């Protein structure tokens, strides 16, 4: 049950933004790194493999931390997080990143804040103010306009856009559910348990895809990128992000995801030597303004007993 709405304490909110920003910085390299790996290795194999590696590291963390097991209905929440963040999101990102430019794909995933806010309302009981909604819709609206705008035909593969939009929806639900169960299990513990829950499925998927598409002559760069998405994007980044959502509020901290396109643009231009169109920088500027506005807008948060 939810108690009367209360405003999130400023100290916890500030800590939440710090953790959230660190999470976004970690996620910002996910698309370019996933694209590098997916160009050499089967995308489904990469998605399942990164989840397997993250689950094994997570099991070690749980053992060292002597974390208690989830109980009762907590397993339902852990299961939702598992399906969303342990299977759905990495698979969809891998498939989408293979066919879309990383910078453009990051802007498409900029819809995550809007989806995360809606999921936070449904699963955590948050109540954003009208001012917050206006700021959030400003940033998400810029993303939608960018997605619909016709750029260079080779720069906007519509199928990849649809896959990345689906990834944004799945991740939003997973993030909100992880923040919902975090007070009971702990922010990093829920991530580790979620990955362990789907470990058998991902192990079977790795064996299946490896038999169909065994990797050959994988470059050192691709191996390094895989290590990054497995350890950082799939595990430690999600730990930081979940703690940020828990402390600062799902809706508020979720808006930081709008910074991810900007960070990814810089990484893509430097790392993959991709050309970033002017309209992309314009979209990034609008979403940055929306973040600054939403930071000042009030968001009430239900206290979950």
Residue with more model confidence, 35 or 76: 76
Please tell me the distance from the alpha carbon of residue 115 to that of residue 108, in angstroms, as a whole number: 12
Write the pLDDT tens digit of every residue in 271-288: 667 677 777 778 778 888
For residue 280, what pLDDT is reported? 74
Q: pLDDT tens across 244-258, in order?
A: 998 888 888 999 988
pLDDT of residue 303: 54
Nearest Cα to 108, choosing from 31, 161, 163?
161
Placement of tokens 């829950």 in the chain: 197
Q: How many CA atoms lie within 13 A of 149 on its CB side?
A: 17
Which one is predicted more confidently, 114 or 55? 55
Of 185 and 263, more confident: 185
Q: 237 versus 278: which is more confidently predicted?
A: 237
pLDDT category at 104 given cuts 50, 70, 90 is: low
More confident residue, 274 or 300: 300
pLDDT score recorded for residue 305: 47
Domain range summary for the chain, segments of one domain joined by +: 6-301
Q: What is the rounded average pLDDT of the residues 197-213?
A: 95
Q: Which residue has the higher pLDDT, 76 or 168?
A: 76
Q: Are 234 and 50 in contact (CB under 8 A)?
A: yes
pLDDT for residue 41:
93
For the chain, state the CA radius of gyration.
18
pLDDT score at 207: 97
**pLDDT at position 149, please?**
65
Q: Print the SS3 string covering the chain.
A: CECCCEECCHHHHHHHHHHHHHHHHHHCCHHHHHHHHHCCCCHHHHHHHHHHHHHHHHHHHHHHHCCCCCCCCHHHHHHHHHHHHHHHHHHHHHHHHHHCCHHHHHHHHHHHHHHHHHHHHHHCCCEECHHHHHHHHHHHHHHHHHHHCCCCHHHCCHHHHHHHHHHHHHHHHHHHHHHHHHHHHCHHHHHHHHHHHCHHHHHHHHHHHHHHCCCCCCCHHHHHHHHHHHHHHHHHHHHHHHHHHHHHCHHHHHHHHHHHHHHHHHHHHHHCCCCCCHHHHHHHHHHHHHHHHHHHCCEEECCEC
Select the more confidently predicted residue: 151 or 76.
Answer: 76
Q: What is the pLDDT of residues 39-65, one digit of tens each?
A: 899 989 998 999 999 999 999 999 999
Assess whether pLDDT exceeds 80 at residue 76: yes
pLDDT higher than threshold 60 for residue 86: yes
Q: Report whether pLDDT(114) > 80.
A: yes
Separation of alpha carbons 109 and 107, rounded Å: 5
pLDDT at position 167, please? Answer: 85
Query: Mean pLDDT in the chain?
Result: 83
8 Å CB contact between 190 and 229: no
- Model confidence over 137-158: pLDDT tens digits? 888 888 777 766 645 554 545 6
Q: How confident is the model at residue 219 (pLDDT cuts 50, 70, 90)?
A: very high
Other C-beta atoms closer than 10 Å to the C-beta of 3 total 10
pLDDT at 83 over 90: yes
Q: Which of 179, 193, 191, 189 has the alpha carbon at shortest distance from 246?
A: 179
């Amino acid at each position: 049950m939810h108690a009367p709405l209360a405003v999130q304490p400023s100290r916890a909110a500030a800590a939440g933004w710090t953790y959230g920003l660190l999470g976004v910085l970690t996620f910002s390299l996910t698309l370019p790194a996933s694209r590098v790996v997916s160009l050499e290795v089967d995308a489904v194999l990469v998605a399942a493999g990164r989840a397997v590696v993250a689950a094994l590291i997570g099991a070690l963390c749980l053992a060292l931390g002597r974390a208690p097991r989830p109980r009762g209905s907590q397993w339902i929440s852990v299961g939702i997080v598992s399906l969303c963040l342990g299977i759905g999101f990495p698979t969809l990102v891998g498939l989408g990143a293979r066919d879309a430019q990383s910078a453009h794909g990051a802007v498409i995933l900029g819809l995550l804040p809007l989806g995360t806010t809606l999921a936070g309302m449904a699963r955590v009981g948050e109540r954003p103010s009208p001012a917050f909604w206006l700021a959030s819709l400003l940033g998400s609206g810029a993303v939608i306009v960018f997605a619909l705008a016709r750029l260079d035909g080779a720069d906007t593969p519509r199928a990849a856009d649809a896959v990345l939009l689906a990834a944004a929806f799945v991740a939003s639900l997973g993030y909100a559910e992880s923040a919902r169960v975090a007070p009971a299990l702990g922010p990093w513990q829920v991530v580790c348990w979620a990955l362990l829950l789907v470990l058998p499925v991902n192990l079977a998927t790795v064996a299946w895809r490896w038999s169909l598409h065994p990797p050959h002559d994988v470059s050192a760069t691709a191996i390094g990128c895989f290590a990054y998405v497995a350890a950082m994007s799939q595990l430690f980044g999600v730990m930081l992000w979940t703690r940020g959502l828990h402390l600062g509020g799902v809706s508020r901290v979720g808006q930081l995801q709008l910074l991810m396109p900007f960070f990814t643009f810089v990484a893509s231009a430097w790392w993959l030597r991709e050309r970033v169109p002017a309209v992309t920088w314009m979209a990034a500027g609008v979403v940055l303004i929306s973040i600054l506005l939403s930071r000042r807008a009030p968001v009430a948060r239900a206290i979950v007993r």
